[in-house]
Amino acid sequence: MNGLPPALAAGLAMLPDGTFAGKTVMVTGGGTGLGLAMGREFARLGGRIAIASRSEEHRAKGVAAIRAEGGIAEGIALDVRDADQVALAFDTVEERLGPVEVLINNAAGNFPVRAEKLSPNGWRAVVDIVLTGTFLCSKAFAARRVARGESGAILNILATYVDGGAPGHAHSAAAKAGVRNLTESLAIEWAPDGIRVNALAPGLFPHDDHAPAMRSRRPDGYEAEKTRIPAGRVGKTQELGWAATYLCSPYAAFVTGHMFVIDGGDRLNRSIRNPEFEPIRDQLPD
Ligand SMILES: CCCCCCCCC/C=C/C(=O)SCCNC(=O)CCNC(=O)[C@H](O)C(C)(C)COP(=O)(O)OP(=O)(O)OC[C@H]1O[C@@H](n2cnc3c(N)ncnc32)[C@H](O)[C@@H]1OP(=O)(O)O
Ligand SMILES: NC(=O)C1=CN([C@@H]2O[C@H](COP(=O)(O)OP(=O)(O)OC[C@H]3O[C@@H](n4cnc5c(N)ncnc54)[C@H](OP(=O)(O)O)[C@@H]3O)[C@@H](O)[C@H]2O)C=CC1
């Protein structure tokens, strides 16, 4: 399990070429990090990618990365917390790329903070982006799919701390746990309409786009983390792309309401080695 698959080095897609040809895929927060990695994988398989987020700089970076690989991408201004902006974003994507057939609810806010120091606004910001934003985008998506009488797929990006919580992440973990439950409700409700709703729970996937607050505070970065994770390494972002494209593809037509965990066994908490231990509370900002 420790070795990287050769296909990763070769930059290969997992599914057949053209699996998403002619389909429009909206990725919220798709200009950076994991969202961009997933968008690149959908684009490799022929999908037309709408990168929807607040920052023009992030959107432009994501669009350029996908176009540089020969893919089709457009940037769409969106704050997922605002229902009017969500409606406008779906309309704009439809004009530019065609109706959205796949929605990746990837946008998130998070900053590690001791819960007793988290302000009401800080709590609201994270819960609104993660939980309310996922609901608003899912609702707008499904309303359009149902009106057209056409099927679709939604993928909600969680985090493995939906089970068990995490010190310093009370706001994010609670919001993500809410999204997990929402995934299940919507999967049942929209299954008769041909809309599948699944979730992808990543473990640790460090990347260069992370905001300073989200970077490891340890001088050795993620080296110690690697010894804690049973697989002996952190995740590679393209691995999420493979999982996301599978879950939204016709090969997963009978999969809905599922949470797919991709974490190298981290959540099982069975360390095969014993790293130097530093309590997570002690790693949080003062
Ligand atoms: C460790 C290793 C991990 C290792 C990595 C572990 C990975 C764990 C899994 C990862 C999960 C993720 O979600 S990773 C995704 C992370 N990406 C992001 O967060 C990018 C987007 N984030 C943002 O835009 C901002 O951070 C966020 C605050 C959420 C939203 O921005 P807004 O402009 O809407 O809000 P603001 O007005 O700036 O702030 C709203 C309130 O939040 C407070 N606030 C903002 N930042 C704060 C902070 N660092 N500490 C305390 N409080 C903060 C402000 O003071 C405000 O409260 P008042 O002063 O009271 O008004
Ligand atoms: N990296 C990791 O190890 C892990 C990540 N995750 C999850 O993966 C997903 C991606 O995280 P990651 O790539 O690491 O982090 P990033 O910070 O790189 O990505 C977050 C994205 O969300 C967008 N965003 C934030 N707020 C809003 C908003 N209100 N409206 C629209 N877009 C918004 C940002 O774009 P902009 O600023 O342009 O709005 C940004 O592109 C998240 O759901 C996260 O919780 C889960 C577990 C581990």
Strands (E), the chain: 24-28, 48-53, 72-77, 100-105, 152-157, 195-202, 259-262
Domain 20-283 has CATH 3.40.50.720: yes
Strand partners, 98: none
173 lines ligand 2 (CB under 6 A): no
Would you list the domain boundaries of the chain? 20-283
For residue 231, with 0-12 CB atoms within 10 Å meaning exposed, 13-18 middle and 19 or more buried, which class applies?
Answer: middle
3-state secondary structure of 31: coil
pLDDT computed for residue 1 by the predictor: 45
pLDDT computed for residue 272 by the predictor: 63
Contact residues for 119 (Cβ-Cβ < 8 A; gap 6+): none
- Closest Cα to atom 3 of ligand 1: 214
pLDDT computed for residue 273 by the predictor: 62
- Indicate the top mutation candidate among 79, 118, 119 to test ligand 1's pocket, ranked by most ligand atoms within 8 A of CB: 119
pLDDT computed for residue 4 by the predictor: 63
Is the ipTM above a cut-off of 0.95?
yes
pLDDT in tens, the chain (286 residues): 456 666 666 666 679 999 999 999 999 999 999 999 999 999 999 999 999 999 999 999 999 999 999 999 999 999 999 999 999 999 999 999 999 999 999 999 999 999 999 999 999 999 999 999 999 999 999 999 999 999 999 999 999 999 999 999 999 999 999 999 999 999 999 999 999 999 999 999 999 998 888 888 777 888 888 888 989 999 999 999 999 999 999 999 999 999 999 999 999 876 666 666 777 788 888 8
Strand partners, 261: 201
pLDDT computed for residue 239 by the predictor: 96
pLDDT computed for residue 3 by the predictor: 61
Kindly list the distances between the CA atom of residue 214 and the CA atoms of 12, 111, 207, 221, 282, in Å, as whole numbers in the listed order: 29, 6, 10, 12, 15
CB 156 within 8 A of CB 183: yes
Q: Is 222 a catalytic residue?
A: no
| Rounded Cα–Cα distance for residues 117 and 258 (Å) | 34
122 lines ligand 1 (CB under 6 A): yes
Residues 239-258 pLDDT 10s? 999 999 999 999 999 999 99
- Closest Cα to atom 23 of ligand 2: 29
State the pTM of this model: 0.95
Angle at the Cα of 199 from the Cα atoms of 190 and 49, rounded to 5 degrees: 85
CA atoms within 13 A on the CB side of 30: 30
| Rounded Cα–Cα distance for residues 45 and 49 (Å) | 11
